[in-house]
Amino acid sequence: MSKTEKIIRIVSGFTIFAVILSLGLFAYSPWNIPIIAVPCTILYILGKEISRIIFLKSDHVKRCVVLAKTYISQLIFCAVLYVLGRGMNELMLHIADRNFSSTDLLFALGLLILGIINEVLLACLKPKPVATTSGVFQQRNYTISFQPEPITIDNFYSDPFWGHKNNPDLIKGDLKKIEEAERRLGVILPPLLKELYLKQNGGMAQNLYVPIVDNPGNDNSDWRWVFSPGYEYLNPTERLCNLKGSCLLGMDEDEIEQEGDFLKNAEKYIVLCKRYSDVTFLDYSGPGEPRVGVVDFDKIDPKNVWFNDFEQFFKALRRGELE
């Protein structure tokens, strides 16, 4: 995610927060809560890639269920902010209750319009498809300037994990942490991965790529980002989990079952890093050493790549900057 995208998302999130809070702060009717939850529901599904894809793939009944669940969660969110605003009004402003009127609908309409504008801006920031001579469309390509040094255990990490900063005990590599993760997951981690965890307990590993073609050049189309932009880290040992467990944080069992092949071996995929459905993981579904997959399960990014083992994956890593 680019800096501009982050700024747009932060501003839009703050705007939604401020609008709903202001309804309570200025003593607007509580009937605004179920109304304002409608655009919040629409914008949530539009803004969350995995929710949007599940919604589009579902049948009519499933869509109604997704809408209902999302609406209820947004209704609770709006109610909490509204009550907080009313409390602030009682403490500071003492504005008398306002009766509900048709003009109150402008809050919901305005929020929906701003949200749609926000999603359009974000869509415009994504690389535009360009036609090739064969008529096939692909993402606009860039050149990558690679560092000459190979990736090693000593230079793999660029920073501690974001949740470990200011806590040396969490940053420090420890064999006990590794063994605890293995017991919890029921797997044996690859030796080279263990060395990385002994060096540091996970952390930021930015600007890493692996090739997706033989004899790659410096063109971006020849390479695949190992960890998705904005999520460029190796999970610490305590955050390691299988793909099904990770998906359950944003999906329910019915949604997982509906995905079919998407989660066929999800319990045997150990997530090293995950952004929505773009996942770097260890595949324990076969015998011997686990494979390493760098896969977009939504099939939005066709640059999926597999490695026979973690050593092969690590050897292929290169660090570079887009130009």
Long-range contacts of 118-127 (CB under 8 A, 24+ apart): 118/8, 118/9, 118/12, 119/43, 119/46, 119/47, 121/8, 122/5, 122/8, 122/9, 125/2, 125/4, 125/5, 125/8
Asked if pLDDT for residue 156 goes beyond 60, the answer is yes
pLDDT (0 to 100) of residue 131: 42
pLDDT tens track for 53-105? 555 655 577 678 778 888 998 999 999 999 999 999 999 999 999 999 988 88
Task: Give me the chain's average pLDDT, please.
Answer: 83
E runs forming strands in 193-268: 203-204, 208-211, 223-225, 233-234, 241-242
pLDDT band of 51, cuts 50, 70, 90? low
Sign of the alpha-carbon dihedral angle for 192, 194, 200, 206: positive
pLDDT tens track for 215-231? 999 988 899 888 877 77
The more confidently predicted of residues 58 and 6 is 6
pLDDT band of 197, cuts 50, 70, 90? very high
CA neighbor of 28 nearest in space, from 78, 64, 63, 72: 78
pLDDT (0 to 100) of residue 2: 57
Tokens matching residue 7: 């700024």
pLDDT tens track for 255-306? 545 554 556 778 899 999 987 778 899 999 999 999 999 988 766 556 789 9
Could you identify the residue written with the tokens 């609008």?
19
% of the chain exceeding 70 in pLDDT? 82
pLDDT band of 49, cuts 50, 70, 90? low
CA neighbor of 208 nearest in space, from 222, 225, 223, 189: 225
pLDDT (0 to 100) of residue 74: 92
CA gap 221, 7 in Å, rounded? 27
Residue 272's DSSP bridge partners are none
Mean pLDDT confidence for 10-16 = 85
The more confidently predicted of residues 31 and 115 is 31
CA gap 238, 170 in Å, rounded? 10
Mean pLDDT confidence for 203-222 = 91
pLDDT (0 to 100) of residue 112: 87
DSSP string of 4-22?
Answer: HHHHHHHHHHHHHHHHHHH
Q: Report the chain's terminal Cα–Cα distance, integer Å.
A: 16
pLDDT band of 172, cuts 50, 70, 90? very high
Residue 223's DSSP bridge partners are 211
Q: Is the pTM of this model over 0.85?
A: no
